[in-house]
Amino acid sequence: MPKIVHLIPILVLFLIGPVHAGNKDIRTQQNDLGQIQKEYDASKKRLDSLKQAESGIQKEISNYDQRISSNKKVIARLNRELNQLKESIGTTENQLADHQLQLDYAKRRYLGNIRQFYMTTINRAEFGLPEPNDELEIDRKITYLAAVADFESGNVEQAGDLLADAIAKRDELSGEQKKISKLRHSKETSTALEKTRKQKQEKDLAKLRRLKADEADRLLVLEQAAREIEAIIARLEAEQRRDRDGASGPSIMAPLKGQLPSPVRGRVTETFGNHVDPITNLKSFSPGITIKARAGAAVVSVASGEIVHVGQLRGYGKFVIINHDDHYYTTYAGLGSFSVTQGQFVGSRAQLGTVGADGLIKFEIRKGREPEDPVKWISLDSF
């Protein structure tokens, strides 16, 4: 639990107990508010950093999912190719066996014919010249056997070529199978590694979300503490005014509603009222408006009054508070420089300072402790 939580009971005691409205008490509470604002700003920066880290991890997890999905598609395609190659190799092996049988059969027939040709030629030489009819028959037989042997020789050669082609095709398919198997193994290894990395990122994301939730809770506590201190300051100031002036007179600023000049020319980037954070879905309340203006431009008072505070808060930069009539106060935060000092009385449109480097001016109007929508007070054509 953040240490700021322990401030809440003390603040409540300040609110419900008797309060002495002295300048010292107001400064003390303003210092406390400043410290809380610093812690709030630091916590908000941590939360913003956690949101950025969460977005980065989510993007990495998405990238892992895309790579894993892509690898799975490649592996599925490689498996299909391997199955097709397996079928092709099986078909080629069958063809190879058939061609081997054809070659063996052609060789046997060829050798058998050669043997008959040889035996016929030897018999003719051993038995001398036979009868003319027998000799003619032997010549025809030798011619026939020579033709058959030549034909079978062609069959042997053709069967040998088919067998060689089948062996070459089988070797080619086997090489392709090894290549694809190696690629599949590489993709499977890569997929397993991506899954491991994704699991680590998911664990980191879960841890980061817990930290973000804790930081969001801390912000809520800080906001509550700031509101409590603002209430204390308002009560102290009210008591101080009563001690100084007795009963408060009528407001001189109220009739100016809708006619005030803008503190700086620019564009309203944050409106008054409730807002919902798009990341955490946490609700917050903006007590004023934020105006985007040119860095270095003049920031002026919207009405005459006394400068009751000139200071600086982390996250708000340099800021000025004007007490206009003991009823209404205006705050100008985000200044780059000051042109006034505390206790000084300024008129309407008096320069209070300049716009800071980021170009953002946070402007508030309060009736006592209650914030009001500045857009309802400022003339729209003055932005």
Contacts with 345 (C-beta within 8 Å, 6 or more apart), sequence order: 304, 305, 306, 307
> How do the residues of the chain divide into helix, strand and coil, expressed in percent and rounded to 5?
65, 15, 20
What pLDDT score does 212 carry? Answer: 80
Right CATH number for 1-247 from 3.40.50.10440, 3.40.50.300, 1.10.287.950, 1.10.357.10? 1.10.287.950
Domain residue extents for the chain: 1-247, 251-383
| 132-245 and 23-126 helices, crossing angle to 10° | 180
What pLDDT score does 247 carry? Answer: 45
pTM (2 d.p.): 0.44
What pLDDT score does 248 carry? Answer: 55
For the chain, give the number of residues.
383
CA dist., res. 270 & res. 275, Å (int)? 9
What pLDDT score does 180 carry? Answer: 86
- Same CATH topology for 1-247 and 251-383: the answer is no
Task: Give 332's strand partners.
Answer: 320, 363
Kindly report the CATH number that applies to the domain delimited by 251-383.
2.70.70.10
What pLDDT score does 119 carry? Answer: 67
What pLDDT score does 300 carry? Answer: 96
CA dist., res. 182 & res. 175, Å (int)? 11
pLDDT tens per residue, the chain (383 residues)?
333 333 333 333 333 333 334 555 566 666 666 677 777 777 778 878 888 888 888 888 889 899 899 889 988 998 998 898 888 888 888 887 887 887 787 777 767 766 766 666 666 555 555 555 556 665 666 676 667 666 767 777 777 787 788 788 888 888 888 998 898 898 889 889 988 888 888 888 888 888 888 877 777 766 766 666 576 566 656 666 665 555 456 888 889 998 999 999 999 998 998 877 665 566 677 889 999 999 999 999 999 999 988 887 655 678 899 999 888 999 999 999 999 998 899 999 999 999 999 999 999 999 887 899 999 999 877 76
What pLDDT score does 330 carry? Answer: 94
CA dist., res. 181 & res. 168, Å (int)? 20
